[in-house]
A and B are shown apart, each in its own frame.
Chain A
Amino acid sequence: MEIVHVYTKLRSEFGRQCLFSDRPAELLVDVSPDPNLALQFIQKTRRDQAMQASRDMSEHQVNTERFESESRGINHLEGGWPKDINPQEMEQTIRFRKKVEKDEVYINSVLQLGSIMEHCIRQNNAVDIYREYFEDEDEVEENQEPPSAKTINVFSDPNELRRTITDLSWHPDGARKLAAAYSCLEFQKSCRGLSLDSYIWDIENPNKPELTLKPASPLVCLDYNPKDPHTLVGGSYNGQIVYWDTRRGGTPVEVSSVEQSHRDLVYKILWLQSKTGTDAFSASTDGQVLWWDVRRLSEPTDQLVLDPCREGNLDRAFGAVSLEFEPTMPTKFMVGTEQGLVVSCNRKAKTPAEKMVCTYEGHHGPVYALQRNPFFPKNFLTVGDWTARIWSEDIKESSIMWTRYQKSYLSNACWSPVRPPVFFTVKMDGTLDIWDILFKQNDPTLSLKVCSGLSTLQKNDKSLLAAMFERETKREKILEARQREIRLKERSRSEQSREEEGGPEVGDDSPHQLITWTEKDFFSLVEAEQRRRSEREGRGQQETAVCEEREEKNETTSAK
């Protein structure tokens, strides 16, 4: 539909002038303010409004595509010359150079650079700044200062009633933590208020232990799992084996059942090498060595009775006081007994009789410590009564080296993990002795109620020590051979007599005979030693008392 507007005007009216006339104002609309409407208005809160009179801008981002750049060098013979100068033309180049030389900037720069350069040149001439001054310093020189050690931290039992620490175990990862088993080992001493706890200490913080282990009965020994640094296994006073996970706090995760555990206190517990990493074995004075799988502590997996007759008879069994296990020799282990014997055992033996391979006799009292030399596993160190002895596995008659009888009872010993000839012993009177057998054999190198010289591995240590062990072993072999000869002679002479000279064999002598023999031997040795000591003090001579003692002992026994 078309919208049409028709506008008509008479032709005669076109062009006529407009005639304006005044007219009075006419009120068309009057809108008065209505106050009621004001009520509908809501007043806006006053606020500051910023305004800027500027152009509107917008932000824009552009990510260009990465382009690969390469740097290449061109070795050109001559170049850089300005365009108008031909490098071949001598004249032009000379003229250019002369021009540059007259330049103000050039002069100033050269003067400044020249002074810097002169300084460096002179420096070069004075001292060779690149020379290696400390080339030959790789080998550590012998420490001329006397050995000394410093106490770093003292960790004391936070309880009021102080107890003795019976076992220590270092954390396998970096040794920042130390687990200590506290118990009171004095025979039948029961203190009411004695705390049952054992602690894990952080070596940086001696004020408060990091974790408290709460067993049901005080712990006598404990060991960190070398494969899993969070787990610990401990043996307690009542014979039970306890297993902890430090992530779960101080309460034991599992405890072995009382019926299946040891009948006496567990003197030592060690982790074994196994695929599952959960095997441990423990030894106790009840005469048993028990193997456990920590996942199932309700009963032991294996058992060995330390019966000298190899019958498995518990009544005649020796009490075990220490255990030794070297991860490099997983089928063998050694047990130190209360009777002074060290029994070497084979784990893989089929019958219990074959399990106990051989014994080493030499100590008069319980063998409190037993450890193989980490560098020479065939040699091991034992501590019992008042001496420390070093043995070679092959020589079963006696130890190859031993210390003098000390003034007080030796309670523990261990080899240094870094230096082969060094071992540490502790005595009941509280002294820590550091022995370096390459340096001095009669006395400890240092007695402390770890110095810097003893912690670095000296180059010749291992070979010298190997030579020393060989020498001593040979000597013992010769002595052993001689002993055997003498014994054979004796045996052929007195066929009916069952007494055997030259060291009692295991289980042959009756206990009474053993005691009398031991007493006689002991007193003669003590007298001899006292005599010798007074002689030496009088004379002031240095003798190898060690060898003489042995000769003397041989003489007394063979003279019988």
Chain B
Amino acid sequence: MAEVEETLKRIQGQKGVQGIIIVNAEGIPIKTTMDNTSTVQYAGLLHQLVLKARSTVRDIDPQNDLTFMRVRSKKNEIMIAPDKDYFLIVIQNPSD
């Protein structure tokens, strides 16, 4: 329990990180560092995106699986680490 907190704090402490969301398999945000509306929006939209991406990868090659997703936009970068039951979503503003 404490390790989880520590990990999240460490991630939050990295340069440029704007927010972290942990979403479960059904799309419910379990833990978040952002306000509720954004959280819900991110969780709902990204959940579908990850499922679609994963099914795409597995359709092409059933032995393959999605390990990481990065969505780079003009203003920031959304990184999603999927797992069997949970996703970890981090929004970072890369410094350059």
Binding site for B on A (CB under 8 A): 71, 73, 75-81, 96-97, 100-102, 105-107, 109-118, 120-122, 124-125, 128, 130-131
Contacts and interface: CB of A to CB of B under 8 A. Distances in A.
Interface residue SS majority, chain B: mixed
7 contacts: A73-B48, A81-B28, A100-B24, A106-B4, A110-B8, A121-B14, A124-B92
A75 B45 contact: yes
A111 B7 CA distance: 7
Contacts of B72: 130
Nearest to A82: B26
Given A77-B44, A97-B31, A110-B7, 8 more contacts: A76-B44, A80-B24, A105-B85, A107-B4, A112-B83, A117-B79, A117-B90, A120-B68
Interface in B23-37: 24, 26-28, 30-31
A17 B14 CA distance: 113
Contacts of B24: 80, 100
B27 A80 contact: yes
Contact of B96 (A101, A106, A111, A128): A128
Interface residue SS majority, chain A: helix
Contacts of B75: none
Interface in B68-96: 68, 70, 72, 77, 79, 81, 83-88, 90, 92, 94-96
Interface residues of B, number: 41
Contact of B30 (A78, A97, A113, A120): A97
A102 B92 contact: no
Contact of B1 (A77, A81, A102, A112): A102
A214 to B, nearest CB: 57
Interface centre among A78, A113, A125 (most CB of B within 10 A): A113
- Sorted nearest first, the 10 A-B pairs with minimum C-beta distance are A80-B26, A114-B7, A113-B88, A80-B27, A113-B81, A128-B96, A109-B83, A124-B94, A80-B28, A109-B86
B40 interface: yes
B18 to A, nearest CB: 11
B83 A113 contact: yes
A125 B79 CA distance: 13
Given A73-B48, A110-B4, A131-B96, A121 B40 contact: no
Contacts of A105: 85
B11 interface: yes
B88 A125 contact: no
A117 to B, nearest CB: 5
Nearest to A103: B85
A81 B44 CA distance: 12
B74 to A, nearest CB: 11
A101 B4 contact: yes
A120 B44 CA distance: 23
B27 A121 contact: no
A116 B68 contact: yes
Contacts of A107: 1, 3-4
A115 to B, nearest CB: 8
Nearest to A93: B28
A120 B20 CA distance: 14
